[in-house]
Amino acid sequence: MNGTIFDKLKILAESAKYDVSCSSSGVGRRNNGTIGSSDAAGICHTWSADGRCISLLKVLFTNNCVFNCEYCVNRRCADVPRASFEPEELAQLTIEFYRRNYIEGLFLSSAVEISPDFTAERILECLRLLRRKYGFAGYIHAKIIPGVSPELVHAIGLEADRLSVNIEMPTSKSLELFVPQKKPKEIFRPMRQITNSLIERNALKGPGSMFRGQDVNSPENYLTPGSGMLSADSRQLRENQNCSEGSEEGVKAIVRRHPRKEVFAPAGQTTQMIIGAGGETDHQILTTTENLYHTFKMKRVYYSAYVPVVSSPILPDAGTPPPLAREHRLYQADWLLRFYGFSVSELVDDAHPDLDPEVDPKVTWALRHMDQFPVEVNKAPMDMLLRIPGVGNVSARRIMRQRKVASVKYDDLRKMGVVLKRAKHFLTCSGKYYGGNRFLPEVIKEQLLEADDGVQLSMFDTADSRKAVTGNDRLSL
Amino acid sequence: MTDYLYDGTFEGLLTCIHFHYYNGKASGIYVRNEYQPSMLQPYLEVETDTNKADIVYEAITKKISSYDLRRIYRVFKSDDAEKEKKILDYVRLGFRLGGKISMMHGNPAVFEIQRIDKKVGNEVHRLKGLIRFSELDGGVLYSSIEPDHDIVEFLAHHFCDRYKNEPFIIHDIKRSKALVAYGGDWYVTHFTKEKVSGISADEQKYRDLWKQYFEDIAIKERINPRCQKNLMPARYWKHLTEMQ
């Protein structure tokens, strides 16, 4: 327990590495303390050997845990070395790393030592030291442990930039199975509290451009107890949201607080769930994601491909490769939800419960809706441009910009950043179509796969995931 | 058609643009020391004239936009071999079309400037993360870099705000210059490695802690060196503490 700082950092970084989020984005702040600032776009400082960016010093405060979550390396009955930081020790380490520009800030998570409140108080002490004693104005992401009292959540929110509560599992069934000590109610209560605190400050922003043009800080979005049940059915969720448990007066008047005087988690809240431990379909996972975005207006939902670290009769065997390709497709779908105006029902349904491993979700959608294509780039509205595979937010905006001063020609599209390899099958430029001569979904899919072969998988270079994505015997060709 | 040679300063380039309009068209603009004369191509050494440079500077701001002026300056700081000619083409087009020029994404002259501007901007953003400071004896933070483009001054705003109470030096080894800053003030000066003193007592400990952390945080089951290299090109590794 009383090891050197080297031992502690080793044990507590080792345990924290399965937390996904490392983003330092979402809040732009000049240096209002002694040291530090925050860049709205976030800054990555290095990339570890697994290709994930390191932006924050990601550690657990302690890995002494009273919980016994099935999938977790630090569960109570696991035989692993244990350590805890002292608040002062961790604050100083953060500052010294920060001075050398190793990191953008601190990501502090923790196991549950003694009780949730005990642990949260220690975390709070560390964050207060950083902010007040050292005048740290950099980024802090704090994880809220389920079961922490509302007062402590509030106090931590006043110090941190971003808060997250892990939902852990995509359905309540697998939550019950794998995480017996965390109750859905205990997970949703702090989530709701964070969203409400942000609404009180008129500071809720919502995920991506999902709620563009809508007032997410209006009283209708204020969450009352009983809303946000973990369910695979969005209709059921809305019903839950409407019937406020016990209190029949409905939405209370919001007590507005001045956001300047008391900044609460300005970068919003996120959550993460484990993919591939239980038997969920992509449909269930994405529906839960959409519910989280609609109900709590979270900034992000992260997915973590399950790495078998513990052996358990109900979990995948050790040695099973983590489902990286599936994780990638889920993130692509997640982006379509947040930035491209798609809804989950368009991407997956009961007939297609999983995302297509061969092509990305946007292409899959386009191939199922050939009646809406090809799209004329010189006439289509922004939301339709965004639905063309190979056209992103930046290139769509550039098309709109250029259209004000000149017509867009086919050669211009490449210069604007459109991926013509995909896009040419789905658009026309001043009436001319540049794809092949057969406008059929099967034919186009075949052409896309041929064009992608060998290039597509630069992100997952291992033989296993290569097979997982292409799936068929294309490899042997 | 003459090749104009200038002294490598931004004012010199602006003077050449002035010459292009008032002393005959330029076939190309080059830095004097790097120019290779040829028998067939006449050339003229343009003496930098701050008045003429000011006129062009003002004209770009008024007739095109201040955004485009800043953009041209960033391109000027790039290492592109033909940046001067590309800037001239952009300015000429800009004087004809005005402020809307940056929206003409399909135009070859605009595209080139947009592409180079993006490369410079990307490197600035990348270095905000990839710079590693070492604490020297006496508490000064020192960092050495070898960027593709001449960008130390573009880093000043970010780091001066972040480390407003720390003296620091960002040393561009390739160009023997450094950004020296303290308390929000900064200047760029000629700088060589000999001026750097030894590291402080605690420095090695934090380097080791960081290296160890860097090793530990990678998930063994997901190791993917190609992805790592894509995101963090190997040419930057030389100056990264964790890659030593």
In this predicted structure, what is the pLDDT of residue A263? 87
Of A18, A45, A96, the CB nearest to B129: A45
Task: Clarify whether residues A243 and A323 are in a common domain.
Answer: yes
Range of the domain at A209: 5-347
CB contact under 8 A, B162 and A412: no
Residue A143 is encoded by which pair of tokens? 């994880």
β-pair partners for A108: A59, A142
Q: Would you write out chain A's pLDDT as a tens digit for each of its 477 residues? A: 457 889 899 988 888 888 888 888 888 888 888 888 888 888 999 998 888 889 999 999 998 888 888 778 888 888 888 899 999 999 999 999 999 999 999 999 998 888 889 999 999 999 999 999 999 999 999 999 888 999 999 999 999 999 999 888 888 888 888 888 788 888 888 998 999 888 888 888 888 888 888 888 888 888 877 554 444 344 444 434 333 333 334 455 667 776 667 788 899 999 999 888 888 899 999 999 999 998 899 999 999 888 887 777 777 777 788 888 899 999 999 999 999 999 999 999 888 899 988 899 999 999 999 999 899 999 999 999 999 999 999 999 999 998 988 899 999 898 888 999 999 999 999 999 998 888 888 888 888 888 876 544 444 444 444 333 333 333 333
Shared-domain flag, residues A48 and A84: yes
Interchain pair A48, B218: CB under 8 A: yes
pLDDT band at B214 (very low <50, low <70, confident <90, very high): very high
Test B158 with A37 for CB contact under 8 angstroms.
yes
Q: What is the token pair recorded at B91?
A: 């300015």
Residue from A403, A415, A459, A469 to probe the interface with B (highest B Cβ count within 10 Å): A415
Q: Kindly state the average pLDDT of the residues B24-53.
A: 89
Name the residue of chain B whose CA is nearest to A320's CA: B221
Could you tell me if residue A352 is inside a domain? no
User: Do residues B189 and B172 make contact, with C-beta atoms less than 8 angstroms apart?
Assistant: no
How many other CB atoms sit within 10 Å of the CB of residue A256? 11
Q: Decide if A58 touches B, using CB distance below 8 A.
A: yes
Query: What are the strands of the beta sheet with B43-45, ordered from one edge?
Result: B26-31, B2-6, B43-45
A216 touches chain B (CB under 8 A): no
**pLDDT per residue as tens digits for the range B39-60:** 888 888 999 999 999 999 999 9
Q: Out of B133, B208, B228, name the one closest to residue A99 (CB).
A: B133
A278 versus B11: the higher-pLDDT residue is B11
Among B100, B158, B209, the residue with its CB nearest the CB of A5 is B209
Answer yes or no: do A46 and B158 touch at CB < 8 A.
no
Q: Which chain A residues in 373-432 lie under 8 Å from chain B, judged by CB atoms?
A: 398, 401-402, 404-406, 408-409, 411-412, 415-416
Task: State the total domains in chain A.
Answer: 2
| pLDDT mean over B214-220 | 88
Residue A307 at interface with chain B, using a CB cutoff of 8 Å? yes
H-state helical runs in chain B: 10-22, 50-59, 66-76, 83-97, 108-130, 152-162, 203-217, 225-231
B130 within 8 A of A45, measured Cβ to Cβ: yes
Write the burial class of residue B201 (CB in 10 Å: 0-12 exposed, 13-18 middle, 19+ buried): exposed
How far is residue B190's CA from residue A159's CA, in Å, rounded to a whole number?
42
Query: A10 in helix, strand or coil?
Result: helix
**Smallest Cα distance from B166 to chain A, Å:** 8
Q: Which residues of B touch A51 (CB under 8 A)?
A: 222, 224-228, 230-231
CATH number at residue A258: 3.20.20.70
The distance of A48 to chain B (nearest Cα, Å) reads 6
Distance from CA of B194 to the nearest CA of A (A): 21
Co-location of A250 and A383 in the same domain: no
Amino acid at position B15, single letter: T
CB–CB of B221 and A307 under 8 A?
Answer: yes
Q: How many CB atoms lie under 10 A from the CB of residue A54?
A: 23
> How far, in whole angstroms, is CA A29 from its chain's centroid?
22
A398 neighbourhood in chain B, CB within 8 Å: 105
Q: Do B105 and A402 touch (CB under 8 A)?
A: yes
pLDDT of res. A40 = 86
* Chain A partners within 8 Å of B96 (Cβ): none
Whether residues B212 and A411 touch (CB distance < 8 A) is answered with: no
Cβ–Cβ of B224/A462 closer than 8 Å?
yes
B129·A461 Cβ contact <8 A: no
- A6, B212: Cβ pair inside 8 Å? yes
pLDDT of residue A333: 94
A398 in the same domain as A341? no
User: Minimal Cα–Cα distance from A378 to chain B, Å?
Assistant: 14
Query: For position A472, what pLDDT does the model report?
Result: 36
**Strands A432-433, B168-172: parallel, antiparallel or unpaired by DSSP?**
unpaired
Nearest to B114 by CA among B77, B170, B154, B75: B75
Please tell me which of the candidates B210, B224, B241 has its beta carbon nearest to residue A461. Answer: B224
Per CB-CB distance under 8 Å, the chain A contacts of B105 are 398, 401-402, 412, 415-416
| Chain B residues touching A49 at Cβ < 8 A | 218, 223-225, 228
Of B106, B228, B232, the CB nearest to A415: B106
Say yes or no: A262 and A388 in one domain: no
A124-to-A144, A197, A445 alpha-carbon distances in Å: 11, 18, 53
Are A326 and A431 in the same domain? no
Closest in A6, A48, A405 to B214, CB measured: A48
Cβ pair A322:B129 closer than 8 A: no
Contacts of A99 in chain B (CB under 8 A): 133, 135, 141, 163, 166
Tell me whether residue A355 is in a domain: no
Give B211→chain A minimum CA distance, Å: 10
- Token digits of residue A237: 């969720």
| B201 contact residues in A (CB cutoff 8 A) | none
- Please tell me the predicted confidence (pLDDT) of residue B155: 93
- Candidates A445, A13, A27, A457; CA nearest to A267 is A27
pLDDT of residue B189: 92
Residue B1 neighbours by CB distance under 10 Å: 9
Instruction: Taking residues B89-107, report their average pLDDT.
Output: 90
pLDDT band at residue B62 under the 50/70/90 scheme: very high
pLDDT of amino acid A236: 41
Residue ranges of E strands in A369-450: 375-376, 427-429, 432-433
Q: Which residues of A touch B232 (CB under 8 A)?
A: 46-47
Judged by CB atoms closer than 8 Å, whether chains meet at B162 and A93 is answered as no
How many contacts (CB atoms, under 8 Å) link A and B?
A: 161
Taking only residues 131 to 150 of chain A, the set having a beta carbon closer than 8 angstroms to any beta carbon of chain B reads: 138
Whole-Å CA distances, A12 to A34, A302, B217: 27, 21, 10
Residue of A nearest to B211 (CA): A102
Token digits of residue A453: 């072969």
Q: Are residues A365 and A342 in the same domain?
A: no
Domain co-membership, A269 together with A310: yes
Whether A418 and A302 share a structural domain: no
Closest residue in B to A417 (Cα) is B105
Could you tell me if A379 and A412 are in contact, meaning their C-beta atoms sit under 8 angstroms apart?
A: no
Residues A373 and A294 in one domain: no
Q: What does pLDDT average to over chain B?
A: 91
Residues A416 and A388 in one domain: yes
Option in B216, B227, B242 nearest A51 (CB): B227
Contact A13/B217, CB-based, under 8 Å? yes
The tokens for B69 are 């002026």
Give the pLDDT band (50/70/90) at residue B138.
Answer: confident
Instruction: Find the mean pLDDT for residues B153-159.
Output: 92
pLDDT of residue A2: 56
User: Is residue A356 included in any domain, yes or no?
Assistant: no
* Cα A111 to Cα A101: distance, rounded to the nearest angstrom: 28
A379 part of a folded domain: yes
Are A50 and B224 within 8 A, CB to CB?
yes
- Residues A304, A409, single domain; the answer is no
Summarize the confidence of residues B195-202 as an average pLDDT: 84
